[in-house]
């Protein structure tokens, strides 16, 4: 294997495909530069969304400005594709990061000079990146993070993969070092749950890692990332790390895992314990993020283990 090249994601949300042949003609909207994520989701029927999972088309997603490692580039049917590893998304599939394929047009060379500076992170559900005070560029997902170049009361100037841009100050938080609990938040686990509640009724998306749509483990991953905790990308890996928690000791923010064969088989789902015997989760393609009572939850008998990543 050649030496990986460091690249940055240059579209609002880059969908990571299993192989270059995985996308369907209808997925062209997600393959473009810029990617049209809203339009792509809006054009798909329920059956189309189910097919992303059933045919193993999509692996994960990456947000604008995220650094990846490009390990291979190939041409398929007139389109250039890059095999990438995503260091921020831990997985047993590859020690260097989550693997998959993205259109090469959605990546640019890394901006090296600003790696360790203060960052602006989107904490609105979504936020527009502006070219100036009036001209919009692209709509960004929750938790998109970009280096800061300057600040005013109303605007934050940021370094993007393609130059300079502006974010509204009330859409972001400034991060300069480890993330501390928010004012008045003494229980980090409850903070995880409260962030999750913001996305109630957001439709599920297989492989989803953005506020345009999450899958079950992507939802757990993102809510932990908000409080400064990086957990593995997939439920099967999430269930093997963190601290084991007895059912009687569950607290809000703990992760509940569910496995086939009434808890004895392969893990297939994860949710976040919300307290009072309830769970918030992104359930499946035909549903949206919801809170359920565990005593009547249809997968209750499949609960196999619980883990805690917060302290």
Of these residues, 67, 216, 224, 303, which one is catalytic?
Answer: 216
pLDDT, tens digit only, all 311 positions of the chain = 579 999 999 999 999 999 999 999 999 999 999 999 999 999 999 999 999 999 999 999 999 999 999 999 999 988 999 999 999 999 999 999 999 999 999 999 987 655 568 999 999 999 999 999 899 999 999 999 999 999 999 999 999 999 999 999 999 999 998 876 655 556 999 999 999 999 999 999 999 999 999 999 999 999 999 999 999 999 999 999 999 999 999 999 999 999 999 999 999 999 999 999 999 999 999 999 999 999 999 999 999 999 999 98
Where are the domain boundaries for CATH 3.90.1720.10 in the chain? 188-308
What Cα–Cα distance (Å) separates residue 182 from each residue in 186, 210, 291?
A: 8, 22, 23
Walk across the sheet containing 243-244 and list its strands.
243-244, 303-308, 255-259, 267-275, 278-281, 290-293
Of these residues, 53, 105, 224, 281, which one is catalytic?
Answer: 281
CB 271 within 8 A of CB 182: no
Residue 268 annotated in active site: no
- For helices 188-197 and 216-226, the axis angle rounded to 10 degrees is 130
The architecture in CATH of the region 113-175 reads Roll (2.30)
Predicted local distance difference test score (pLDDT) of residue 182: 59
Of these residues, 67, 224, 269, 303, which one is catalytic?
Answer: 269
Predicted local distance difference test score (pLDDT) of residue 184: 56
Distance of CA 77 to the CA centre of its chain: 29
130-160 confidence digits (pLDDT tens): 999 899 999 999 999 999 999 999 999 999 9
Where are the domain boundaries for CATH 2.30.30.40 in the chain? 113-175
Q: DSSP letters along the chain, please?
A: -PPPEEEEE-SSEEEEESSTT---GGGHHHHSSS--HHHHHHH--HHHHHHHHHTT-EEEEEETT-EEEEEEEEEETTEEEEEEEETTS--TT-TT-EEEEEEGGGEEE--GGGTTS-EEEE-SSEEEEESSSS-EEEEEETT-EEEEEEE-SSEEEEEETTEEEEEEGGGEEEESSSPPPPTT---HHHHHHHHHHTTTTPBP-TT-EETTEE-HHHHHHHHHHHTT----SSHHHHTTSSEE--GGG--TT-EEEEEHHHHTS-EEEEEEEEETTEEEE---TTSBSEEEETTT-TTGGGEEEEEE---
Residue 43 annotated in active site: no
The two three-digit tokens of residue 137, written as one number: 């560029």
The architecture in CATH of the region 188-308 reads Alpha-Beta Complex (3.90)
Residue 304 annotated in active site: no
């Amino acid at each position: 294997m050649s030496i990986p090249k460091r690249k940055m994601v240059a579209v609002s949300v880059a969908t990571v495909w299993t192989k270059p042949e995985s996308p369907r003609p209808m997925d062209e909207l997600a393959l473009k530069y810029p990617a049209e994520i809203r339009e792509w989701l809006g054009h798909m029927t329920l059956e189309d969304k189910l097919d992303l999972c059933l045919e193993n088309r999509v692996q994960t997603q990456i947000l604008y400005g995220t650094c990846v490692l490009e390990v291979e580039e190939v041409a398929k049917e007139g389109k250039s594709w890059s095999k990438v590893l995503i260091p921020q998304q831990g997985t047993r599939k590859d020690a260097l990061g989550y693997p998959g394929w993205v259109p090469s047009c959605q990546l640019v060379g890394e901006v090296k000079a600003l790696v360790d500076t203060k960052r602006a992170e989107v904490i609105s559900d979504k936020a527009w990146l502006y070219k100036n005070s009036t001209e919009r560029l692209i709509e960004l997902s929750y938790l998109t993070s970009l280096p800061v170049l300057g600040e005013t009361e109303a605007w934050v100037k940021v370094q993007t993969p393609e130059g300079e841009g502006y974010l509204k100050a009330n859409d972001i938080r400034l991060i300069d070092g480890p993330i501390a609990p928010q004012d008045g938040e003494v229980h980090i686990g409850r903070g995880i749950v409260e962030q999750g509640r913001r996305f109630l009724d957001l439709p599920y998306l297989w492989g989803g890692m953005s506020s345009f749509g999450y899958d079950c483990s992507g939802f757990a991953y993102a809510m932990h990332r908000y409080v400064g905790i990086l957990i593995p990308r997939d439920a099967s890996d999430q269930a093997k790390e963190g601290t084991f928690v007895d059912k009687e000791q569950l607290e809000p923010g703990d992760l509940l895992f569910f496995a086939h064969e009434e808890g004895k088989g392969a893990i297939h789902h994860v949710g976040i314990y919300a307290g009072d015997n309830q769970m918030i989760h992104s359930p499946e393609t035909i549903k949206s993020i919801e809170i359920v009572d565990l005593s009547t939850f249809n997968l209750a008998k499949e609960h196999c283990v619980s883990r805690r990543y917060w302290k």
